[in-house]
Amino acid sequence: MAQEFFESLIACIRKDAETHPGQSIDPDVLREFMTDRTPPVPARKPAPRPVQAAVPAAPRSIPRPIPAPVSAPSPGRELPQAARIAPAPAALERIGSLDELRPIVLACSRCPLAATRHNVVFGEGDPHAKLMFIGEGPGYDEDMQGRPFVGRAGQLLNKMIAAMQFAREEVYIANVVKCRPPGNRVPSPDEAAACIGYLKRQIKLVQPEVIVLLGATAVNFLLGKRDGITKLRGKWLGYEGIPVMPTFHPAFLLRQESAKREAWADLQQVMKVFGKVYRRQG
Ligand code: URA
């Protein structure tokens, strides 16, 4: 992280604080994000290529919402063949609140990730949040606790949110897949397809004003973009009329600290939408 860049940024913010008292961002909170020294999250292996023969065709229609097992399957439990890789049902559209959606997702066994999870990670935050963050999928800590972004990447995300002048409780945080892919690998296209309906319903119910997509997996599976995050980040995209800002995943930022500079530029664009940032040109 270029110290020079950071210091000039802080100087800018201080000037803004003088010009716009009460509306500028707190340099100390930004420093927390930019200088965070949380140990990096290890790089992950890509998802294994789907084996065609092992993936049954999705049923044409799913008449009922979702079968509701009483408790989550224990790790290692085999799923019935018919339950594997089924898309989220159209009936989700009738779900009118996050509270109604949660038990459905917690009972899901639509893909093989259900067999190895400890907890489903539904998502959390203000159900009417203006700002929504979407990651890839739960890691070890999230799987153990059933909450999104509570591990090392989550600690950095908290700092990003604070630097943006939001409280974590004010935003909504969700993932593309709600169950941990073993070894923290990238979810396969089939796993994402089985789960994405839940995320889309969450977005519809929360109705955020802006979505921040964390990392390429979220952009690829929500928006169908194929490019890498280095190409996608920092440029406004849209999802159903909602402005979407793709940026680096905090786990990547833990490994590649120099990329925080670009991530901060992306987050500032989001802050501007909420009138939270004042940035001098030149
Ligand atoms: N990484 C993610 O993409 N999501 C989480 O919830 C945690 C880590």
For residue 79, the model assigns a pLDDT of 44
| Ligand 1 atom nearest 136 alpha carbon | 3
Give the C-alpha separation, 86 to 109, whole Å.
Answer: 9
14 Cα: distance to centroid of ligand 1 (angstroms): 33
Find the length of the chain: 282
The DSSP result for 101-115, as a single string, is HHHHHHT--SSTHHH
pLDDT digits (tens, 9 = 90+) for 242-277: 999 999 999 999 999 999 999 999 999 999 999 996
In the reported structure, the alpha carbon of residue 138 is separated from the centroid of ligand 1 by a whole-number distance in angstroms of 5
Q: What is the predicted pLDDT for the residue at 81? A: 44
Structure tokens at 220: 């690829």
> Do residues 20 and 6 touch, judged by C-beta distance below 8 A?
no
Contact 254, 38 (CB under 8 A): yes
- Span 227-237, pLDDT tens digits: 999 999 999 99
Residue 163 confidence (pLDDT):
97
Tokens standing for 175?
């993932």
- Is residue 97 exposed (0-12), middle (13-18) or buried (19+ Cβ within 10 Å)? exposed
Q: Single out the residue of 123, 176, 126, 130 nearest to residue 150, CA to CA.
A: 123
Query: What pLDDT was estimated at residue 67?
Result: 32
Of 27, 87, 24, nearest to 55 by C-alpha is 87
Instruction: Please tell me if the CB atom of residue 142 comes closer than 6 angstroms to any atom of ligand 1.
Output: yes
The topology (CATH level 3) of 76-273 is Uracil-DNA Glycosylase, subunit E (3.40.470)
**Any ligand 1 atom below 6 A from CB of 139:** yes
Backbone angles phi, psi at 95, to 5 degrees: -75, 125
Q: In the prediction, which pLDDT does 36 show?
A: 77
Q: Would you write out the chain's pLDDT as a tens digit for each of its 282 residues?
A: 445 544 544 554 455 445 444 455 667 777 888 887 766 666 665 555 544 333 333 333 323 333 333 233 333 444 444 345 555 666 899 999 999 999 999 999 999 999 999 999 999 999 999 999 999 999 999 999 999 999 999 999 999 999 999 999 999 999 999 999 999 999 999 999 999 999 999 999 999 999 999 999 999 999 999 999 999 999 999 999 999 999 999 999 999 999 999 999 999 999 999 999 645 444
Residue 237 CB neighbours (<10 A)? 16
Nearest atom in ligand 1 to 214's CA: 3
Angle at which helices 152-163 and 260-273 cross, to 10° = 50
pLDDT for position 21: 46
The distance from CA 214 to its chain's CA centroid, rounded to whole angstroms, is 5
Structure-token match 């159900």, residue found: 127
| DSSP 8-state assignment for residue 7 | H
Identify the pLDDT of residue 3: 53
Per-residue confidence (pLDDT) for residue 120, from 0 to 100: 98
The pLDDT of residue 160: 98
